[in-house]
Structure 1
Amino acid sequence: MRNALILCTANSARSVLGEALLRHLGKGRFATFSAGSTPRGTVNPDALTCLERHGLSSEGFRSKSWEEFAGADAPKMDLIITVCDNAAGEACPVWPGHPMVVHWGIPDPASVEGDADARGAAFDRAYERLERRINDMLALGDDVFEAEDGKSRLASIGAISD
């Protein structure tokens, strides 16, 4: 089992979707976590509704700081994926074990204003992009983590046009 941390600034939307999706699609291959550089303190209700709409559990998610995963007693991460441009550009903590860190930018669905349908559509687009990228990652197999070009192969997934 590998440990994966999905990072965003607020840890309220994209990173939560990514955590849930990788847990579901990874089918026991990954212990998944999410965090933010400046956590909002609550998970966006539209993110939880999106998970439920797609048949995934919305239970147990909370908005938390990435500092929880930087300490000596934190789980050792194998992979860290940043999903928003702000988190990608910030100075990250030094992660125990020096995991692979890649960026898969996803437009922020929480920034979409409007009625529930407009917001839901934005969250569904983010969900679908993350789902495609996670499936692409899983298709690479576990060997990608030991491959000399593994990091570049994982990073290239985030550059694929959606």
Structure 2
Amino acid sequence: MKKKVAFICVHNSCRSQMAEGWAKHLGKDIFEVYSAGTENYPEVKPLAIKVMEEEGIDMSNQYPKLLKDIPDEVDYLITMGCNVVCPYIPNSVMEDWGIEDPSGGHIEDYRIARDIIKEKVIDLINRESGDKN
């Protein structure tokens, strides 16, 4: 059975969306992946979509979701470093990844965030699969 992982941020428009994209791409055999925000936002940031496309990941069908749109309980609850306080969501593991928000910055800021998120998703996959490399 796949483990449920949820990436949480304020708007679910950038970092948590990139984490969802990476986890679905790299961990599709291990994780059931969700992302959500604590506040409404109209769209995924275009530069987040663009930098993920550079890595071959299509996020064009992803959209901002709220906590009510994801399961009531997850195995991994990961906040992205936005000082967001989530209503309690039952989980086995909770982490804050502390990733700086590139929103409003240059495309290179998005690339930096994308690459950090990729490394953290790979680490999460390795921990879950028991791979110590």
TM-score (norm 2): 0.87
Q: Percent identity of the aligned residues?
A: 26
Q: Quick one: distance in 2 between partners of 1:26 and 1:79?
A: 13
Q: Quick one: distance in 1 between partners of 2:72 and 2:61?
A: 18
- TM-aligned CA deviation for residue 75 of structure 1: 5.8
Label 1:67 to 1:127 Cα distance change in 2 as closer, same or farther (>3 A).
same
Gap runs ≥5 in structure 2: none
Q: Quick one: distance in 1 between partners of 2:111 and 2:21?
A: 14
- TM-aligned CA deviation for residue 109 of structure 1: 0.8
Which of residues 104, 116, 120 in structure 2 aligns to 1:111? 104
SS across alignment from 1:21: helix
Structure 1 runs, 4 residues or longer, greater than 3 Å off: none
Label 1:141 to 1:64 Cα distance change in 2 as closer, same or farther (>3 A).
closer
Aligned match of 2:29: 28
Which of residues 74, 83, 94 in structure 1 aligns to 2:80? 83
- TM-aligned CA deviation for residue 124 of structure 1: 0.7
Larger radius of gyration: 1
Instruction: Pick the structure with more helix per residue.
Output: 1
SS across alignment from 1:137: helix
Label 1:29 to 1:16 Cα distance change in 2 as closer, same or farther (>3 A).
same
TM-score (norm 1): 0.73
Note if contact 1:14-1:126 (Cα within 8 Å) is conserved in structure 2. yes
Backbone CA RMSD of aligned residues: 1.8
